[in-house]
Amino acid sequence: MPQGMTKPTIVFDLDGTLAHTAPDILGTLDHILTREGLPKLPHSEAIGLAGAGARALLKRAFAVSNMPLPETRLETLFEDYLAHYETRIAERSHLFPGAETALRTLAKDGHRLAVCTNKTERLAIILLEKLGVAHHFKAICGRDSFPFQKPDARHLTSTIEKAGGLINHAVMIGDTRTDIDTARNAKLPVIGVRFGYSDTPIDALAPDLLIDHFDALHAAVGTLSFTVAR
């Protein structure tokens, strides 16, 4: 890296990347389905949607039960889901091993850190505060932070701008096709984590790099090269 050049901004997905949030996400889904008199969606089937948002989970559960779900009803259930989820947002959720140390190391090394998630911004902030790491991020952006969401490249590039970084000098860290497609659409490198919620083996999605543990992230970022327009 040329002398004087800033370190790349590092943008993290949240669910399935920074934190293991599926227990509380799927626990809330179970609560809604039980209330509606529907069978629970097997967690082995639902976990691949844990990072896709409550609407996707509700749609899948109703489809499996062959139950109609009009858009107006979906929106009502979505609001009910969010209200219940907030009450237990960090009941069983926790950072993946090594995540907090990696955030401290990267920040100390001069990287700007940000979160780009399809969670709502408010819930993302609440969760990261409860997990004790919100202060590490220059920007925490959710599905309602801008008029577009992942995999639209603008969700990622707007997050980078909000964090004060350079759009073409950043890297995405994620666990699913959505994260990889978002980075590709933004023409940015992406590092995939193997411990997340991808319903397709992440190796098959061919991110630029893969890590099995957050202990490997700092070194992985250091191997990336960037062409930065000043």
Which tens digit of pLDDT belongs to each residue from 128-165?
999 999 999 999 999 999 999 999 999 999 999 999 99
CA distance 40 to 52: 18
Other CB atoms within 10 Å distance of the CB of residue 230: 5
pLDDT of residue 1: 43
- Three-state DSSP class for 205? helix
CA distance 15 to 197: 8
In the residue annotation, 144 being an active-site residue is answered as no
Cβ–Cβ under 8 Å, residues 24 and 126: no
- State in Å, rounded, how far the first CA of the chain is from the last one: 14
- The residues of the chain scoring below 70 in pLDDT are 1-5, 227-230
Other CB atoms within 10 Å distance of the CB of residue 17: 27
- Three-state DSSP class for 162? helix
What element of type H or E holds 25? helix 22-35
Query: Which two structure tokens, joined as six digits, stand for 167?
Result: 């759009």
Cα dihedral 150→151→157→162 (10° resolution): 0
Rg of the chain (C-alpha set) = 18
Predicted TM-score (pTM) of the model is 0.92
Out of 13, 24, 175, 179, pick the active-site residue: 13
pLDDT of residue 5: 62
The top-level CATH class assigned to 9-21+93-223 is: alpha beta
User: What secondary structure letter does DSSP report for 94?
Assistant: E
pLDDT of residue 230: 39
Cβ–Cβ under 8 Å, residues 55 and 78: yes
pLDDT of residue 227: 57
pLDDT of residue 50: 77
CA distance 74 to 54: 10
